[in-house]
Amino acid sequence: MGDLSGQTYLVTGASRGIGREICVALAREGVRVILLSRKSSDLDQTLAEVRAVSPESYATPCDLGDADAIENAVQAVLARGVLLNGIVHNAGDIHPIKPLLEADVADWTRSMMVNLVGVQHLTQGLAAILNGEHRVRVTTISSGAALRPLASWSAYCTAKAGLDMWTRCLAEEGAQHNITAVSVAPGIVDTAMQTTIRSASEEDFPLRSNFVGYYEEGQLSNPVEVASALLPLITAHTNEQSGQRFDVRDL
């Protein structure tokens, strides 16, 4: 990975799960980490752990489903006047878990915001500290759902498929600005999202028993191990890899 001391990375969905562990792993490599997540005690605890090894790191509360919150977060980050060396777009929302023709339009729209539109909004807002001669690496956390339609996951599947293409577009356009972008599917990880999936009703989500089985059979990956596997790709992916989609199980 090389020496990452003095670099700055922004991570969304930073308070729990994979996002939390990526923040901690980056901090231990000497990276200044900007933690974006909705305000919570989990965010406070993650920030405390990160700052114990990377004192210049800080958190900015942000709900990617809220355009005004994104604007506020952008202005807070820009005010620091520090160039970004990388972004990890990790935040995601599985809601609504409902049949496509029954899902509430507002819930479907929020899923598009959190999982896709908010990614564009945030990245575009930070353009001033991305463009320049310095190298910038952008990583988006994808999903198997980007490739495979799953009943009652229409919003999530659609948004993640769109996010993969967004990553490819950024890689294409970013090449002239020294910006590279990759997407990576983390597999089935033991996070709060999996808890939400197992809590869905059989009526709303016919595949619920499959995910209960994954959990009971110990098939879920540990977020710490996933973050460790992702770190080299996040911090050292090459120009030749830009635009590609990876699976953590192949890293």
Note the pLDDT of residue 126.
Answer: 98
H or E element: which one contains 130? none
The answer to whether 47 and 58 are in contact (CB under 8 A) is yes
What percentage of the chain exceeds 70 in pLDDT? 100
Query: pLDDT per residue over 71-102, tens digit each?
Result: 999 999 999 999 999 999 999 999 999 999 99
Q: In angstroms, how far is the first alpha carbon of the chain from the final one?
A: 14
Residues carrying an active site annotation: 156
Q: Is the predicted pLDDT of residue 1 greater than 70, yes or no?
A: no
The C-alpha angle with vertex 142 and arms to 141 and 148, in degrees rounded to 5, equals: 165
Query: pLDDT per residue over 138-185, tens digit each?
Result: 999 999 999 999 999 999 999 999 999 999 999 999 999 999 999 999
What are the boundaries of each domain within the chain? 8-187+230-238
Query: pLDDT per residue over 184-238, tens digit each?
Result: 999 999 999 999 999 999 999 999 999 999 999 999 999 999 999 999 999 999 9
- Rounded to whole angstroms, the Cα distance separating 147 from 161 reads 7
Q: Is the predicted pLDDT of residue 110 greater than 80, yes or no?
A: yes
Return the CATH number of the domain spanning residue range 8-187+230-238: 3.40.50.720
Specify the pTM. 0.96
Four-residue CA torsion sign, 31, 82, 80, 174: negative
Query: pLDDT per residue over 42-67, tens digit each?
Result: 999 999 999 999 999 999 999 999 99
